[in-house]
Structure formats: C-alpha cells, structure tokens
Amino acid sequence: MGTKTITITEDAYKKLKVEKMEGESFSEVINRITDKGRKDLMEFAGAWKDFDVEEIIKEGREKFT
C-alpha cells in the first residue's frame, strides 16, 4: 500500500495524538476513527425477530388514520 503526505493544523495533530494508542500509527488512528460510524448491514440481521411486525403495522395504521 502506498503512502500520501498531508498537511494538518497543529490543533488537528494534537487531537489525533490524543486518540493514538500505544503502538498505533497515525494511519491506523485515522482508519479507526473514520470507521467508527460504519456498520456492516449483517450486524442488524435478526434485530427485529422478537417483534410482532403485524402488530406494529396495525398500531401504526391506527395511529395515522
């Protein structure tokens, strides 16, 4: 994998340095931080299995009619 040189402000550097764990590169910090909000769709598989979908739909229809 190649590398790129970027310029960041001193403030941004300090924030990254605070997030950096021992033995972790700055590239790894950036990847870890930017991947936080991303979830694999399969993580949600089965999340609604304990809900009665028909009942939820019925209640929704009653609420909005």
Token couple for 49? 């299995």
Phi and psi at residue 4, to the nearest 5°: -130, 145
Domain that holds residue 43: 10-64
Note whether residue 36 is domain-resident.
Answer: yes
Q: Give pTM, 2 decimals.
A: 0.53
Residue 31's nearest CA partner among 44, 20, 43 is 20
Which pLDDT does position 50 carry in this prediction?
83
Residue 22 covered by a domain: yes
- Look at residue 28 and tell me if it is in a domain: yes
What amino acid is encoded at 58 in this protein?
K
Domain count, the chain: 1
- Domain for residue 4, yes or no? no
Task: Convert the pLDDT of each residue in 5-57 to its tens digit.
Answer: 999 999 999 999 999 999 999 999 999 988 876 777 777 777 777 888 888 88
Question: What does the pLDDT read at residue 17?
Answer: 96
